[in-house]
Amino acid sequence: MGLLAGAFSANSLFNQLHAASWEDASRKIQHLSPEAAAADEDYWGVIQQSYTVNSNLIILNNGGVSPSPRVVQEAVEQYNKLTNQGPSYYMWRILDQGREPLRQKLAILAGCSPEEIAINRNATEALNTVIFGLDMKAGDQVIGTKQDYPNMINAWKQREQREGIVYTQLNFKFPIENDEEIVSAYENAITPKTKIIHITHIINWIGQIMPVKKICAMAKKHNIEVIVDGAHSFGLLDYRIPDLGCDYFGTSLHKFLSAPIGSGMLWIKKEKIEKIWPLVCNDKPRSEDIRKFETLGTRSFPIEQGIGEAVNFQNAIGSKRKEDRIRYLKNYWAGKVKDIPKVKIHTSFKPEYACAICGVSIDGMTPGELDSALFNTYKIHTVGIVWENVSCVRITPHVYTKLQDLDKLVMAIGEIADKKKA
């Protein structure tokens, strides 16, 4: 029974390793405003110590995948060792019982019912489950954008090729700081055949936060369902999934939640579960039970225990405090480089339109050239983005990112831009 408790008990690894020191650090900033708390380096220094990132690299591609803190790594390692003492016993009879407490824990974080959450491996799996699980016929229309994630675009294109649905892609030029411009673009694309609107909550290429609530409210007036790709918003922005107003939601937990790599979550509004076919076979494919989406065969039970510790980690910081800090880090470096000659910022500074991800470019350099210069000379790891009308280097800090690392980034961009000017 002690093994079953794991991350869901008072004796969790997080409580063993961090509870006392974190509570003390949190008390010291309770009197501060959110803005002051976001900039309190003593408090965030305690959080930073919980990670094991390579000190010889500056990792600023957390929009791709985030490192897990030490407590999450140790949970996975501990339960992996346990599993290998007798896999068929410890997996199927012991650790398999840990999914229900995890479902409840994720539901509290997501602000929804546990009966609406399925635990899987990533946002692609979650969203493809819905995309391929919907009953649609030739001529039915789906509206998305050219800036959506490629795996979701390709899933819709595959249905278009096989079944003759109509896949319409809008093309936005970000940043956009006008909700109505975005909402109107979706609404103007609606036809009598429109069945689904697909929205990416945070555009992964450039960090634009989309006005999901307003798009969902508009869609409901037209009796259209909405799928939300929350890969980059869950664990970063402070919100409840049902408050978005969507019908379906998928996310990766190994991004801003810092859960183990290869962990994800699917949310489906309770009354919609029955009509979605599972992506992987199930003996009751038309069941109202969200668990029909979890028949994945042999899976990593240690990863699930690790997700639980990641939720403990998130809750101890607080979702709002975490969002404020990461937005502060993004604005810290971007604000320092935006006026450097030849440097361009491709992401909004307004809090409602951006948080962590930010694009930057230097005139006369391709994204690949800038990405290489940052790594080869300064050991700063980023990612060059060339996708549709987006061309920049994506910079994404996380809670473990230190200001001194961002100061080095600012220095590096300044030096590289100065060389291009010469």
Place of tokens 């010291």: 28
Phi, psi at 271, each rounded to 5°: -75, -5
What's residue 299's pLDDT?
84
Query: Does some domain include residue 57?
Result: no
82, 3 contact by CB (below 8 A): yes
pLDDT class of 9 with cuts at 50, 70, 90:
low
CB count in 10 Å sphere of residue 344: 13
pLDDT class of 210 with cuts at 50, 70, 90:
very high
Burial of 96 (0-12, 13-18, 19+ CB in 10 A): middle
Query: Does some domain include residue 368?
Result: no
pLDDT class of 1 with cuts at 50, 70, 90:
very low
pLDDT class of 422 with cuts at 50, 70, 90:
low
- Overall residue count recorded for the chain in this entry: 422
Query: Does some domain include residue 153?
Result: yes
CB count in 10 Å sphere of residue 290: 21
Q: Alpha-carbon distance 205 to 395, whole Å? A: 10
Residue 10 has pLDDT above 70, yes or no: no
Secondary structure tally for the chain: helices H, strands E? 16, 13
Element of type H or E holding 199 = strand 194-200
CA 20 to chain centre: 28
Residue 4 has pLDDT above 60, yes or no: no
What's residue 115's pLDDT?
98
Mean pLDDT on 288-292: 98
Residue 29 has pLDDT above 90, yes or no: yes
pLDDT class of 258 with cuts at 50, 70, 90:
very high
Give this prediction's pTM.
0.95
For 342-398, the pLDDT digits (tens) are 999 999 999 999 999 999 999 999 999 999 999 999 999 999 999 999 999 999 999
List, as one string, the DSSP characters of 239-285.
Answer: --GGGG--SEEEEETTSTT-PPSS-EEEEE-GGGGGGSPPSS--S-T
Q: What CATH code is carried by the domain that includes residue 209?
A: 3.40.640.10
Residue 3 has pLDDT above 90, yes or no: no
Query: Does some domain include residue 82?
Result: no
In this structure, the strands spanning 117-120 and 264-268 are antiparallel
Range of the domain at 293: 93-311
What's residue 8's pLDDT?
62
Place of tokens 């390709």: 154
In this structure, the strands spanning 225-229 and 390-395 are unpaired
Query: Does some domain include residue 10?
Result: no
For 188-207, the pLDDT digits (tens) are 999 999 999 999 999 999 99
DSSP 306: H
244, 218 contact by CB (below 8 A): no
**Percent of the chain residues topping a pLDDT of 70:** 97
Query: Does some domain include residue 237?
Result: yes
In this structure, the strands spanning 58-59 and 383-387 are unpaired
Query: Does some domain include residue 386?
Result: no
Amino acid at 69: P
Handedness of CA 55, 56, 61, 67 (dihedral sign): negative
pLDDT class of 22 with cuts at 50, 70, 90:
confident
What's the total number of domains in the chain? 1
Handedness of CA 149, 153, 156, 158 (dihedral sign): negative
Query: Does some domain include residue 229?
Result: yes
Handedness of CA 180, 185, 188, 192 (dihedral sign): negative
